[in-house]
Amino acid sequence: MKMGNPGTDPKLLQDEIRQLKWLLKKREKELFSIQRIGKALSSTLNIDKLLRLIMQEITVLMGADRSTLYIVDSEKQELWAKVALKAEIKEIRQQIGRGISGTVAKTGQAINISDAYNDPRFDPITDKRTGYRTRSMLCMPVWDPNAQEGERKIIAVIQVLNKIDGVFTDEDEDLLEALASQVAISISNARLYQRVEKKLREIDLLHEFEQLLNVEHDLPLVYRKVLQRTVEHLNAEWVVAIVPDNGQLIVCSANQSGKSYQETLPQVDKLPALPDISDYHALSAFWDEIRQHLSIAEIAQNAGDEYLFKNIQLTDASTGLLVAIAVGVGQAQDYQDERKIMELIAQKISRARELHDLRDGIIKRERLSAIGRVISTVVH
């Protein structure tokens, strides 16, 4: 803040002292909030708790009414956030490129507006949904600190609303930009920790499946156990395996409530052919057609849910399909790890079928051999 020259005028001197005291108090408040943010960064690796603490401090530090952190969901090309509404936590989603926060996520440029409803980029739909009235707004991109040089990537957007004592200043922009870098580090560290934890759980899960294949010879039971554990691991609503078998489709499914089902769809020629596994829209259409033939109402009625698909390559050159429905409900993610684990689980399902066929073949050969020995004994 630029100060005048009070000279010897007592009134000017008093004004200067008041301004300095106000500035000192403001800086002390900022320093205290920054220290609290630093403490929060080292207090927990739970990303939800961590970001909630940081956003509370940013709201106080910016002298705002409220703040929201939107996480970029690159899978769906959306921004995603949780906001408190009365006694509930509501999820808000916004398309990248739409509204102020969506524009920031698309362009990477901060936006500072004094009157939201006079800005054509502002989308009032969230205000209408929440009953809140936005006036001034400052939005800042949060950049991935681990991105390769020349490949900058936005991982979040900080949105600060309604400056209490006026509008957001250039000084506020500089401060929020500095805070955004701290938020980026916290998101990156928390995600790294979560990914390590997830990898350890994946190793345990695959080891469990390998043991199951070695000791359990009942193929339908193996399918059910594998799918039930997959539901738990992916935090999915449903996981379904569609496996061709002697001109029919064996459909096994498990849901989050712990129930599992199995049914057979005859006359495969009347059902659609499995499309290219890389074509998500074709797979969605295939699944939408298949589920109409299922007797389980909850699956048959789940149109509109998000799916993850992985093909099941069987040893007889036929192909099945593994479907995860509504994975990680209430979370934003890119599903990279989930797709990898689904590929490994699809391999386990294929391996279970292969072992079953091998055991079945051995049993049949032993029976034929025994019959041959009996016939030989009778003849002689």
- Print the domain residue range for 122: 15-193
Q: How many domains does the chain have?
A: 2
What pLDDT is attached to residue 86? 47
Residues 308 and 360 occupy one common structural domain: yes
In three-state secondary structure terms, 113 is: strand
Residues 185 and 54 occupy one common structural domain: yes
Q: Are strands 111-113 and 260-265 parallel, antiparallel or unpaired?
A: unpaired
What pLDDT is attached to residue 141? 96
pLDDT in tens, 127-141: 887 788 999 999 999
Residues 26 and 169 occupy one common structural domain: yes
In three-state secondary structure terms, 72 is: strand
Please answer whether residues 19 and 11 qualify as being in contact, where contact means their C-beta atoms are separated by less than 8 angstroms: no
- Mean pLDDT in the chain? 80
What pLDDT is attached to residue 340? 87
Q: Which among 193, 228, 247 is the end of a domain?
A: 193
Please answer whether residues 291 and 300 qualify as being in contact, where contact means their C-beta atoms are separated by less than 8 angstroms: yes
Residues 107 and 232 occupy one common structural domain: no
Query: Is residue 305 one of the residues assigned to a domain?
Result: yes
Residues 51 and 104 occupy one common structural domain: yes
What pLDDT is attached to residue 29? 67
Query: Is residue 250 one of the residues assigned to a domain?
Result: yes
What pLDDT is attached to residue 107? 94
Residues 227 and 182 occupy one common structural domain: no
Amino acid at 129: R
State phi, psi for 323 to the nearest 5 degrees.
-125, 125
Residues 22 and 164 occupy one common structural domain: yes
- Biggest alpha carbon–alpha carbon distance for the chain: 134
Strand partners, 70: 157
Q: Which among 124, 159, 193 is the end of a domain?
A: 193
Please answer whether residues 251 and 265 qualify as being in contact, where contact means their C-beta atoms are separated by less than 8 angstroms: yes
Amino acid at 109: Q
Name the stretches of the chain with pLDDT < 50: 1, 85-87, 303-304
- Nearest Cα to Cα of residue 112 among 161, 79, 146, 39: 161
Residues 143 and 239 occupy one common structural domain: no
In three-state secondary structure terms, 178 is: helix
What pLDDT is attached to residue 227? 92
pLDDT in tens, 341-379: 889 999 999 998 888 888 877 877 777 777 776 677 766
Residues 91 and 222 occupy one common structural domain: no
What pLDDT is attached to residue 118? 93
Cβ-defined contacts of 50-54 (< 8 Å, 24+): 50/186, 50/190, 51/183, 51/186, 51/187, 54/182, 54/183, 54/186
Question: Taking the C-alpha atoms of 361, 364, 369 and 370 in order, what is their torsion angle to the nearest 10 degrees?
Answer: 140
pLDDT in tens, 216-263: 888 888 999 999 999 988 888 889 898 888 878 888 889 888 888 888
Query: Is residue 327 one of the residues assigned to a domain?
Result: yes
Query: Is residue 8 one of the residues assigned to a domain?
Result: no
CA atoms of 217 and 82, how far apart (whole Å): 46
Token pair belonging to 33 = 């909030």
Query: Is residue 178 one of the residues assigned to a domain?
Result: yes
Residues 30 and 109 occupy one common structural domain: yes
CB atoms closer than 10 angstroms to residue 188: 16
- What 8-state DSSP symbol labels residue 295? S
Q: Check which CATH number belongs to the domain holding 66 and give it.
A: 3.30.450.40
Burial class from Cβ neighbours inside 10 Å (0-12, 13-18, 19+) for residue 74 reads middle
Amino acid at 59: T
Please answer whether residues 62 and 176 qualify as being in contact, where contact means their C-beta atoms are separated by less than 8 angstroms: yes
